[in-house]
Amino acid sequence: MVRHMLGTCALVAGLIMAAPAGDAVAQTYPDRPIRLLVGFPAGGPSDIPARIVAEKLQTALGQPVVVENKTGAAGMIALNEMLGQPRDGHTLLLCSYLDASNTLLYKTVAYKLEDVQPISLVAKAYYAFTVPTALPAKDMQEFIAHAKARPGQLNYGRVGSGSVTELLAKQLEKVAGISMVGVPFRGTGPALQEVAGGRLEFMVGPLALSLPLHDGGQVRIIGLTSPERLAAAPSLPTLTEQGVPITNYGWWGVCGAAGLPKAVLDRLSKEVMSAVNAPDYKAVMQRSGAIPVASTPAEMSAVIADTVRDTAALIKELDIKQLE
């Protein structure tokens, strides 16, 4: 009897020792609250999906998921904060196209894209070209004519040097043969409020933020960067249909640091994709003009590679000098 019990204990011990380490990690993860860092101000286009996804992850994972806005340096403060923490899945990032673009736009960046582990996309959004309602320009061609008559006099808002808010404005300048002056802001929301107040003449921003102001009569959207009209705003024309050959979109996703245990990565990928595919999440995103998009880590890696390629081409086209 004793011999039998000893044999059984040895067998159980052997099975425990033979169990894959990943299984043990998956069973204990998460064992404390998770931080989801956002590199931009609360209420912005990054913040909205971050808070909904965080709420759903909290329910799925059984631990608090706390959204922290760590603003500055075009999102790099938040990214570097994540990379400085233990790589165990308890500190995540609401990452964006800027994290890929910054590696090209700045001479010195404290990270490489290989340091970041994609988990899943959560949304993509096309951009709205927005002007004050008092500006005498109802469409792109009227705005271009207005700007040509006032070279160097119109101001536009930009959120960070080299951001899409600046690159697309510069691309418009080159394509249309106009000249404007960029004014820096810490977030897209504050810049759009300046457009609504008539203190800025132009702004490129995510449709999700511009559309409510447009619908409320506070600003006027004169064109979208989508390849075709969007279901969320069927009355708004694209730039291309107005003779301005510009298409572009931004994306957001959840990322971790490279070196995440595979079991943790698999669990997070599954739960983030589930959150994005939830009907209520889709409804909120679609009402705002954003497009909910879930992906595998590999699919998100491909999107990041595309962003690097497209940004490099735009930098070359506009002859953009790297920032210090």
Place of tokens 């169990």: 19
Q: What value does the mean pLDDT of the chain take?
A: 90
Q: What is the CATH number of the domain that holds 285?
A: 3.40.190.150
Residue 178 backbone dihedrals phi, psi, to 5 degrees: -120, 170
Which of 158, 156, 155, 164 lies closest to 187 in space, CA to CA? 158
In a domain? residue 4:
no
Residue 33: name the closest of 67, 70, 75, 63 by CA.
Answer: 63
Q: Which of 79-93, 205-219, 278-292, 308-322 reaches the highest mean pLDDT?
A: 79-93
Q: Is the pTM of this model over 0.85?
A: no
What 8-state DSSP symbol labels residue 85?
A: S
* Residue 1 domain-assigned (yes or no): no
257 and 237: one domain? no
CA atoms within 13 A on the CB side of 195: 31
Q: Is residue 322 predicted with pLDDT exceeding 70?
A: yes
In a domain, 312, yes or no: yes
- Please list, in sequence order, all residues whose beta carbon lies within 8 angstroms of the beta carbon of residue 318, skipping any fewer than 6 positions away: 167, 170, 171, 174
Domain that holds residue 26: 9-125+250-318
Last residue of a domain, one of 226, 242, 258: 242
pLDDT digits (tens, 9 = 90+) for 188-209: 889 999 999 999 999 999 898 8
Q: Dump pLDDT digits (tens) for 135-191.
A: 999 999 999 999 999 999 999 999 877 778 889 999 999 999 999 999 998 788 899
> Which tokens go with 258?
């490279």
Average pLDDT for residues 250-260, to the nearest whole number? 96
DSSP code per residue over 23-64: HHHHHH--SS-EEEEESS-TTSTTHHHHHHHHHHHHHHHSS-
pLDDT at residue 289, rounded to an integer: 81
C-beta separation of 147 from 294 below 8 A: no
Final residue belonging to a domain, choices 189, 223, 242: 242
- In this predicted structure, the answer to whether residue 306 has a pLDDT above a threshold of 50 is yes
Tally the domains of the chain. 2
Do 144 and 116 fall within a single domain?
Answer: no
pLDDT band at 23 (very low <50, low <70, confident <90, very high): low
